[in-house]
C-alpha cells in the first residue's frame, strides 16, 4: 500500500502522489467514506491513475464521480475511459456538454492544425449538470461550485474551506489559461472571474497546472491589469515556446517535493 500524500487536508494531487508528471493536475477530494476526482487528464494515464488510487487503499466503489473543470483535451480526454472503468457519473457545466458529448476537437484544443496538434477526443456522456452555487457533498466535505468563464466554455472552480480548486484561471507565476477565439475565450469574462477570485477570502489556489500557491493580492492585481490591456491587443494565445514555472514544478514532482507556502 502506498502512503497517501495530502497536499492539504482531504486533498491529494496525483502528480505529487505519483512523484512523476502525469499531465494536468488531477485532484482527489477525500470525504472520508467517499471521494471524487476533479479532472482526469489524458486517456493514456487513466489506468495508471486508477491503479494509484487503489494503491492508496481507496475503494474504487467509493468514488462518487469525475468532475470536469472544463472540456479541454488535456483535462478531459480520459473521461470516457475513466467513466467506463470506474462506473461513475461525469459532472460538468452545461456549456461543456456539447463539446464533451460530441468530442469536439477544435474547441477543446485537440486539433490545432497550424501547430500539428492532432489528438483524439473520445465523446463522453455527461451524467450530471453542475453550475454556479451548487454544493457538492463528498462524504464529510462540501464543494461549492463557482462558474468562472473566460478561459474556456463553462469553466468551473470549486471552493472548500480556505481553498479554491481554480482550474485554468491563474497560475503561481501570474500566467492564465490560454486565450483563443476558437476556444471560446472571452477576455471580459476572464477579468470578471479573476476579480472574483481576487476579492474572495480563499487563501490558497489549487490550479490545474503547476503548483498550488497562496493567493497574493499584488500578483492578482498585476495579472488583472495585464488582461485589461489585452482587450485592445492581439499578442496572446497558444504560441508560447516555454514555461519556466512548469519546468521547475516538474522537477519538484520528480523529486517528491511538495510546495512550501
> pLDDT at position 236, please?
58
Please report the domains of the chain, with CATH numbers, ordered by start residue. 11-255 (3.60.15.10)
Q: What integer pLDDT is reported at residue 239 of this predicted model?
A: 45
| Full DSSP string of 111-138 | EEGGGTEE---------EE--TT-EEEE
pLDDT of amino acid 164 = 98
pLDDT at 167: 98
pLDDT in tens, 106-128: 999 999 998 899 999 999 999 99
Which stretches of 9-162 are assigned E, i.e. beta strand? Answer: 11-13, 27-30, 35-38, 63-67, 90-92, 111-112, 117-118, 128-129, 135-138, 141-147, 156-160
Contact 24, 193 (CB under 8 A): no
Q: What is the pLDDT of residue 180?
A: 87
80 touches 68 (CB < 8 A): no
Asked if 155 contacts 93 with a C-beta cutoff of 8 angstroms, the reply is yes
- C-alpha separations of 187 from 50, 177, 206, 229 in Å: 36, 11, 21, 10
pLDDT confidence of residue 70: 98
Residues of the chain with pLDDT under 50: 239
Q: Considering only CA atoms, which of 186, 160, 218, 182 is closest in space to residue 169?
A: 186
Q: What percent of the chain has pLDDT over 90?
A: 86
Amino acid at each position: 500500500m502506498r502512503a497517501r500524500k495530502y497536499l492539504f487536508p482531504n486533498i491529494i494531487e496525483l502528480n505529487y502522489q505519483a512523484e512523476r508528471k502525469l499531465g494536468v493536475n488531477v485532484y482527489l477530494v477525500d470525504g472520508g467514506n467517499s471521494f471524487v476526482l476533479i479532472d482526469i487528464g489524458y486517456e493514456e494515464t487513466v489506468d495508471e491513475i486508477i491503479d494509484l488510487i487503489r494503491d492508496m487503499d481507496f475503494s474504487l466503489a467509493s468514488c462518487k464521480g469525475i468532475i470536469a473543470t472544463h472540456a479541454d483535451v488535456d483535462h478531459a480526454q480520459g473521461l470516457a475511459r475513466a467513466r467506463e472503468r470506474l462506473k461513475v457519473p461525469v459532472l460538468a457545466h452545461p456549456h461543456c456538454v456539447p463539446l464533451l458529448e460530441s468530442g469536439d476537437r477544435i474547441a477543446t484544443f485537440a486539433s490545432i492544425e497550424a501547430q500539428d496538434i492532432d489528438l483524439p477526443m473520445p465523446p463522453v456522456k455527461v451524467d450530471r449538470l453542475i453550475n454556479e452555487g451548487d454544493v457538492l457533498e463528498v462524504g464529510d466535505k462540501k464543494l461549492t461550485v463557482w462558474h468562472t468563464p473566460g478561459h474556456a466554455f463553462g469553466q468551473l472552480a470549486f471552493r472548500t474551506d480556505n481553498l479554491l480548486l481554480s482550474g485554468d484561471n491563474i497560475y503561481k507565476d501570474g500566467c492564465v489559461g490560454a486565450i483563443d477565439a476558437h476556444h471560446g475565450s472571452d477576455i471580459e469574462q476572464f477579468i470578471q472571474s479573476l476579480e472574483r477570485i481576487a476579492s474572495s477570502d480563499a487563501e490558497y489556489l489549487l490550479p490545474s497546472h503547476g503548483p498550488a500557491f497562496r493567493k497574493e493580492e499584488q500578483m492578482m492585481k498585476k495579472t488583472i491589469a495585464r488582461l485589461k490591456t489585452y482587450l485592445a491587443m492581439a499578442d496572446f494565445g497558444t504560441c508560447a515556446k516555454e514555461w519556466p514555472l512548469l519546468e521547475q514544478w516538474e522537477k519538484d514532482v520528480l523529486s517528491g517535493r511538495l510546495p512550501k507556502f
